[in-house]
């Protein structure tokens, strides 16, 4: 590991992000104090983009793990592997970040099994250390290390939620969809469509968000608006782009699709 370069995980190009409030200052304060951060908000509202933006602004490497129910503690910490010379230890993403000083971002952490997440506890309190039992090594976290997790509270359930023993190890930040004006400017910049089309796409997204709890689990995200705008900017018809990016991904319900189709006609005709 002597030749390992953690800087390969630095973000080279600045991600586009517009602050909604004081989240940049709050996150910076947490990072400087070595505090772990928990980001909560709906799908596609900019949680991951914000963390990438902050890693860029702070000039720190970031290692992202997309959590799922199959992820194990060994996937995070590391394991012994066989090669031509016998066995060798390979650090997992969590260990790499702790050892070399990076932001470790566990995206959608509630998708992982709760017994797997116990391994992060010793890195989120005064100890800031990680025990590699299989290797017999105690890793003291680098001063630049920070642990960040994110999840969507709308998907919480008895089976998919963080234990209080995990939640209360983090500082927290709530995210939500941005204002219509800001979301419009984001769609214009990210997709390349004009302001008029972007404004109408945002209006359509607000229609879907108003249907949450009435046939839709979650409304159209800013990410999906950017997809729709990108399709339109490339020459795809407005209705086809909206159906492909904003209707089909979020619902299979025939009545809801009909309602959304009517909304598309009303907004764009």
Partner residues linked to 65 by β-bridges:
106
Q: Where in the chain are the domains?
A: 6-174, 180-268
Q: Into which CATH architecture does domain 6-174 fall?
A: 3-Layer(aba) Sandwich (3.40)
Q: Name residues whose C-beta falls within 8 Å of residue 39's C-beta, 6 or more positions apart in sequence.
A: 47, 50, 51, 148, 149, 150, 151, 172, 173, 175
pLDDT of 155 = 65
Nearest 5°: CA angle at 131, between 88 and 32?
A: 110
Here the tokens at position 140 are 């003291």
pTM value is: 0.88
The kind and range of the H/E element at 85 are: none
What is the DSSP code (8-state) at residue 119? Answer: G
Output the CA–CA distances (angstroms, integers) from residue 162 to 69, 83, 126, 150, 223, in the order listed. 13, 37, 21, 11, 25
Q: How many CA atoms lie within 13 A of 172 on its CB side?
A: 11
The per-residue pLDDT for 158 is: 43
* 78 backbone φψ class: left, alpha, beta (φ>0; ψ -120 to 50): left
CA 10 to chain centre: 17
Which pLDDT score, from 0 to 100, does residue 157 have? 53
Which tens digit of pLDDT belongs to each residue from 26-79?
999 999 999 999 999 988 889 999 999 999 999 999 999 999 989 999 999 999
DSSP 42: -
Closest C-alpha to 6, from 95, 98, 101:
101
- What was the pLDDT predicted at 83? 82
Give the C-alpha separation, 140 to 130, whole Å: 7
CA 201 vs CA 41, 155, 253, 269: distances in Å:
21, 25, 21, 13
List 190's β-bridge partners, or say none.
none
Q: Return the exposure string of 223-238: e unless at least 16 CB atoms fall within 10 Å of the residue's CB, then b.
A: bbbbbbbbbbeeeeeb
Question: What residues are paired with 171 via a beta bridge?
Answer: 37
**Local mean pLDDT, 10-residue blocks, the chain (269 residues):** 83 92 96 96 90 98 94 93 87 96 95 86 94 94 97 67 87 93 94 96 94 85 95 96 95 92 94
Would you report the helix, strand and coil content of the chain in percent, each value rounded to 5? 45, 15, 35
State the Cα–Cα distance between residues 107 and 40, nearest whole angstrom: 10
| Residue of 244, 216, 212, 211 lying closest to 228 (CA atoms) | 244
For residue 78, the model assigns a pLDDT of 94
pLDDT of residue 43: 85
């Amino acid at each position: 590991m002597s030749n390992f370069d953690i800087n390969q995980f630095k973000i080279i190009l600045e991600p586009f992000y517009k602050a909604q409030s004081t989240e940049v200052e709050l996150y910076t304060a947490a990072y400087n104090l070595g505090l772990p951060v928990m980001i909560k908000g709906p799908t596609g509202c900019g949680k991951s983009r914000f963390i990438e933006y902050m890693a860029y602004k702070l000039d720190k490497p970031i290692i992202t793990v997309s959590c799922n129910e199959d992820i194990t503690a060994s996937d995070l910490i590391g394991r012994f592997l066989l090669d031509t010379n016998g066995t060798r230890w390979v650090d997992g993403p969590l260990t790499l970040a702790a050892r070399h000083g990076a932001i470790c971002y566990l995206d959608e952490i509630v998708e992982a099994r709760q017994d797997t997440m116990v391994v992060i506890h010793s890195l989120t309190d005064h100890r800031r250390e990680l025990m590699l039992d299989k290797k017999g090594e105690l890793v003291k976290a680098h001063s630049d290390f920070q642990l960040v997790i994110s999840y969507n509270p709308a998907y919480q359930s008895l089976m998919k939620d963080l234990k209080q023993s995990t939640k209360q190890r983090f500082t927290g930040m709530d995210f939500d969809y941005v204002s219509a004006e800001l979301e419009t400017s984001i769609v214009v910049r990210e997709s390349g469509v004009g302001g008029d089309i972007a404004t109408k796409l945002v209006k359509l997204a607000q229609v879907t968000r108003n249907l949450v709890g009435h046939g839709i689990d979650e409304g159209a995200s800013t990410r999906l608006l950017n997809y729709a705008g990108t399709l339109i900017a490339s020459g795809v018809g407005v209705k086809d782009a909206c159906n492909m990016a904003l209707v089909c991904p979020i619902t299979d319900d025939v009545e809801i699709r009909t309602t959304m189709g009517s909304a598309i006609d009303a907004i764009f005709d």
